[in-house]
């Protein structure tokens, strides 16, 4: 296995990780931003106000995107396992 193959495999793994994690991160960012604007407008400075809605929103995003995430990860793993014979030469 050459260094180029290792770099290619690691690059693809990092790309898949970013793609799979993006929906939850984006939802958490948007909900956090909305709560921050609400907190600034109403001048409510409650620290726990931000955590519960973010947790619920990220959990819902995970539930909605879980089939897509599983499909992406199984496709990547299947392709990786299928390429093992060419990698060990």
33 within some domain: yes
pTM for the full predicted model: 0.80
Tens digits of residue pLDDT in 1-40: 788 888 999 999 999 999 999 999 999 999 999 998 988 8
2 within some domain: no
The average confidence (pLDDT) of the chain is: 92
27 within some domain: yes
Listed residue (4, 3, 14, 5) closest to 86, CA to CA: 5
- Evaluate if residue 46 carries a pLDDT over 90: no
Residues 25, 15: Cα–Cα separation, whole Å: 15
Tell me how many domains the chain contains: 1
**Which range of residues forms the domain containing residue 52?**
22-82
16 within some domain: no
**Position with higher pLDDT, 65 vs 47:** 65
6 within some domain: no
1 within some domain: no
């Amino acid at each position: 296995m050459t260094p180029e193959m290792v770099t290619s495999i690691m690059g693809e793994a990092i790309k898949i990780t970013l793609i799979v994690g993006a929906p939850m991160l984006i939802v958490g960012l948007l909900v956090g931003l909305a709560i921050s604007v609400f907190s600034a407008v109403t001048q409510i400075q409650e620290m726990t106000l931000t955590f519960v809605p973010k947790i619920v929103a990220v959990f819902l995003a995970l539930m909605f995107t879980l089939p897509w995430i599983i499909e992406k990860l199984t496709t990547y793993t299947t392709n990786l396992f299928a390429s093992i014979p060419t990698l060990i030469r």
